[in-house]
Structure 1
Amino acid sequence: MPNQLRFTLLSIRDLLVSIGPFILLTVALLVLAFWWLKPTPPRSVILATGPEQSAYDEFGKRYAQSLAHFGIEVKLLRSDGSSDNLKLLRNGQADIGFVQGGTADIGYDDEESVVSLGSLFVEPLWLFYREDSARKHMQSDTIHSLSDLKGWRVNVGTAGSGVPRLFNTLLDVNRIERQSIDMMELEQTPATVDFLEGKIDAVVFASAPESLMVQMLLQSPGIKLLHFPQSEAYSRRFSYLTPVVLPQGVVDLSQNVPANDVKLVASTTSLLASSGTHPAIVDLFAQSAISLHGGSGWFQKAGEFPSLEHSEVPLSDEAVRAIRNGPPFLQRYLPFWLANLVERMWLAMGLIIALALPLSRIIPPLYAFRIRSRVFRWYAELRDIEQRVEASPEQTPDLLDELDAIDQKVGKVVIPLAYADELYALRSNIQMIRQRLKAHAGSTAPIDH
């Protein structure tokens, strides 16, 4: 191997050895920060939706498609509705779920266990009734208030949906005895079948207009939708309710369905996440909410949702940032996994760099010490030889042999060219001591008579 290449490789090796502890410390800090911050989101997440063919079920499928582009699998967990979804979030069976305002019993403990990703859409209270039932009970094909339902068979949905709780609240505020109405709690699909067959007089849903059941019943002959003329008053009494209007002809312009504007009361549905859900997952769901719910609809204008209002629990910081500012800056130019890693780790990386920069200043002195130590270590032996010759002049021949052995070993020492002067200085000093030893040997030699 040419000497020049040998010296270069030696210099690189010494540099790597000197910088090794610094690199190991930096890597250890990065690993510790990675373990502590957990920047990488899980590959799958559980979304609690609602009954089959409900609006929640449909939106759940859309979220699954949206997050699949980022490599995240969304597992849909069907449930009875809002109240059931909140229970699933509380006990850890779901990571995220749809919860409708006013239909779930949200308490103080939920403010610490769940966070809101914002309001997504309004869900009117749809009360569909049969015209023949109205004629049977009221001698008219139209009813005008909840008090007209006395003696009716009304399905209010399962307890897990939260609709019974909301409907009972409306009955109480109207001073209607609950026992005056034959209320049933069948699931949405079988209840709709019985309703269409005439076994049930009325059904109550709390759902977005995207629900297939709602759209089908709005266009079914012999089925009418209850008009809530006091919708504004309801919203003033209950903060989670808001008045909405189903515009004339919005369902079917050609058939003019509905034939008149219909006033309804509605609550806003939010996307809630358990407090342990990874921030990156929350961020992706909030971004998807913008594309899935940001358009215009029957009850909202474009850009009105998702909204940071009407939240019954604290808002997630990631969701607030995503709704206000859109995708993070890095995510617009980098793959999601890389942008998320940098975004979650940048603060820790900054602190590590701030700590590492001062420590890096010891590398040049440490490198120089390693090189020079190969030379300086021989000076101790040279000093020992000088002291021994002074104490025992008769050992001079032996000391000369030791000095020659040291000279041979020093001749095999290899150091970078930048420090060659140190080596040559050592060899010069060895030669100087050799001359002194020889001179000392000559002066102490016995005179031959």
Structure 2
Amino acid sequence: MDLQFIIDKIWSLPKLSYCNFLIPPQREQRYCIPTKLSSTLKYVDIPGYQLKWSQINRFFEHTPRLKRLSLFINFADDDNDNLILFPCPTLIHLDITLFRTSDMSKMIYLLQNTPNLRSLRVCVYYNLINGNQWEQIIRKNVPKLKRFRLQMKNIFFLNENIQQEVDQLVDSFRSSFWIDEHQWFARCFARDKTIHFSTLSDTFCYDERKLPDFWRSTYPHDNQQNLYDNITTIYDETFFDQSIPFDMSFPNIHSLHIKLPIHNQFWSTISNFNRLYSLTVSSHIDTFQSQLQTLLDRAPRLRFLQINQNESLSLQISIFQYTSKSVRVLDLRNCNYSFNEEECMKLCHSPLGIQCKILSINVKNRESINIFVKYMTNLRALHIKCEDEMFNKRSTSEENANDEFCDENIDNSDELIRWLEDHLPSTCLVGRDPHSHSFIRIWF
């Protein structure tokens, strides 16, 4: 994939004002700065790539009308400390993610060159910058700022006093600048050796296995339920195995990971599934089919469903029986099972298969792909691994350990790509998944 060619084509579009760049990077692929100037682009979102400090200058130079920018920048990945930054006076909204940044001088220099910034959102991973520092940064560099959102996270590996660290951090955000002038309130909580900090109105993904050990807030009327109200994602499938206070709930969950059987307290802790968009189910087994079906019935906006089952199990037939009016993306890769042609046909005619638009699955042989193309009439994209492909018969560990081996097999595996191009409609686009080369991606 010629990323530079794609980006230059985007920047050359004569009427384009908004670009959300969602093409996933391949391995360590860097984002390419456009060589073409766009006089129309105003809103740019680059979520999947790290930009180097030295690239920011050329990015601003080739996007002179930029008003809103969202990006991930690595200040430490560049020794160009003497860079003279190209000003961007049109920028009014900046959403920036920083990773392992201890020196804020480049961040300050960036803000000095965006003097008309009105809205700033910053995510800092593996560092905690106190409120006094942030106050000075904002006062001196972005005086027109009206909206400030901040998230920070750090893990402590030594024997630090975590509670003391939290107290000191929160207290640094209690000055009149935060409380009186702007009413930018903050909340901080800790679990084991990890500290999470965020401004009060920010929603966040909860990736801990247990509830917080303790929390602090600068908002006088804050409470623990408000903390739970801001959680939109629960990643750990064992989260609901713990005891949760009966009066606590999570009303705004968008993405959820659970395992079967579902704990009884789950239904009272998350009583509202109206916002649930993505669901990943582990330890799937037919025995608990009714539990999962109940959850599907109560989630009217659920779009993505991933079903994982233990490797020792045979294919569970309940997969062919589940119903949901809203699910359009079905991921069965982690069922640890390869579907044969008969099972593929059965999936095509199942309630979830009939309405499926994006399917990820493992199959025994390539002929199954034609079954999906012919009978899954709403399908728009297929992410598939064929057991009969020579590429998949080599060990995954060997593939991951040796990049040269991987590249060699990509070339040798063209036989399947050619076979698909010969047997699928000419309107189909076929290619390797850059993140998992044993999988084929097909667009219809």
Larger RCO (CA under 8 A, 6+ residues apart): 1
| TM superposition score normalised by structure 1 | 0.20
> Which has the larger helix fraction?
1
Which protein has the larger Cα radius of gyration, Structure 1 or Structure 2?
1
